[in-house]
Amino acid sequence: MYDRILAPTDGSRIAERAGEHACELARRFGADLSVATVLEDDDRERAERAVDAVAEHATERGVDATTEILDREASVAETVIEYATDHDVDCIVMGTQGRSGLDRFLLGSVAEELLRESPLPVVTVTEGADPRPDLERVLVATDGSDSATAATDHAIELATEAGATLHVVHVTDALLAGERETVEVAPGEEIGTDAIDDVLERAQGTDLETIHTAVVPGRTHQAILAYATEHDVDAIVMGTHGRTGLGRYLLGSTTERVVRFATVPVTGVRPEPGPTTTVEYLDYQVLEEQGWSLEDEDLFEQAAEADLGEDAYGTLEVEQGEYVLDAAEAEGEDWPFYCRVGGCVDCTAAVLEGDLEMDENRQLSDEEVEEKGFRLTCVGTPTTEEVTLVYNVKHHEDLQDRVM
């Protein structure tokens, strides 16, 4: 499944460790290995030392490796992605700071950008991870989304090619769920949980004979990691979820949390980009200044005719599965937020047309969601082709006492 693997390195200990894993994967799958570093500060000697260190591991493992020193084109991650796509690379293996970084919230900006932007699978290896796992048990976590489906197909292929057992985990809301249910089934059978049944269907016709399935209650990333530890899993495969991040550094999605705390390599797989949603937005503070109201039927017509700046009124495109707040920030907008995990009201928007689905909501009441159309933009993804919303609704009198 892998004919060419790319191991980017910056010469750090973690990058070398990831390089060892890249060598192991290349050996196992008979792939060629490219070891690359991005030239920084014109320090060619340092760059050569970095690639040579990983190439030595490759030689020891009997793997063909070529080394490259890349001139930096844009960001380091973009340079790596451009090289990978130009050279028929099948996956990128790289190290991350994980929990031992300067700050537990830092994954490493290059790793984060690669996970977010790479069209190719990205295997991340933290400092504590075993770089040469046996690859006997592969876990795929699924929530039934398109992102998870892409990961599912990759995990099925990985488990099949490696002769490994596939474990499929679906995490449910801890408050709603009962006991953990685990069951071993054959591909094509059903267990009555849509997200898992979809995996079983997709595994039909492969060489996998038995699949271990588990419906697990709890907080998603913790439940996945606990399952992986208990079942001695060697590799985790998960979908990546569009753009995330506060200033591109704070980790938002489940996948990034799993990457950060995993003690085994984690493969992030990005789904093919789907259709985008056009979000027309308006700043709530403009309503207050202009004497307009959320109930005005012609609110957005008035906004379109008023001479408002792009920060106050405009449109933005949101990718499938992408959070609206992330999409706004990617466009350079500065919308309010506080926790980014569904635990406050600071990022609230009032959705007037279309809809957003929230991954989490621990602050808005049912009435605010159903009757006022309030949604949390930090965890809200569009479910309609067009959405019209007023952001900055934290200034609404109903939310004042809950603003952080």
List of residues contacting ligand FES (CB under 6 A) = 337-340, 342-344, 346-347, 376, 378
One-character DSSP codes across 275-318? --EEEEEEEHHHHHHHT--TT-TTHHHHHHHS---TTTEEEEEE
Q: How far is CA 65 from CA 105, 157, 178, in A?
A: 34, 24, 50
Q: Which is nearer to ligand FES, 267 or 363 (CB)?
A: 363
Q: Which is nearer to ligand FES, 193 or 220 (CB)?
A: 220
d(CA 6, CA 65): 10
- Residue 300 C-beta: closest distance to ligand FES, Å: 23
- Residue 375 C-beta: closest distance to ligand FES, Å: 10
SS3 226: helix
Q: Which is nearer to ligand FES, 101 or 342 (CB)?
A: 342
Which distant-in-sequence residues (6+ apart) come within 8 Å of 266 by Cβ? 123, 124, 235, 236, 237, 238, 255, 258, 259
- Residue 321 C-beta: closest distance to ligand FES, Å: 17
Strands 356-358 and 65-71: unpaired
Q: Which is nearer to ligand FES, 32 or 346 (CB)?
A: 346
Q: Which is nearer to ligand FES, 11 or 342 (CB)?
A: 342
d(CA 320, CA 273): 7
- Residue 78 C-beta: closest distance to ligand FES, Å: 28
- Residue 373 C-beta: closest distance to ligand FES, Å: 16
The tokens for 296 are 């005005």
- Residue 348 C-beta: closest distance to ligand FES, Å: 8
Q: Which is nearer to ligand FES, 98 or 252 (CB)?
A: 252
Starting at the edge strand found earlier in the chain, the sheet holding 374-376 runs 313-318, 277-283, 386-391, 348-353, 374-376
Nearest CA among 321, 364, 309 for reference residue 342: 364
| Residue 188 contacts residue 201 (beta carbons within 8 Å) | yes
State the sign of the Cα–Cα–Cα–Cα dihedral 85, 121, 279, 254. negative
- Residue 183 C-beta: closest distance to ligand FES, Å: 35
Strands 211-217 and 356-358: unpaired
E-strand ranges in 230-271 read 235-239, 266-269
Q: Which is nearer to ligand FES, 219 or 231 (CB)?
A: 219
- Residue 404 C-beta: closest distance to ligand FES, Å: 7
Q: Which is nearer to ligand FES, 212 or 375 (CB)?
A: 375
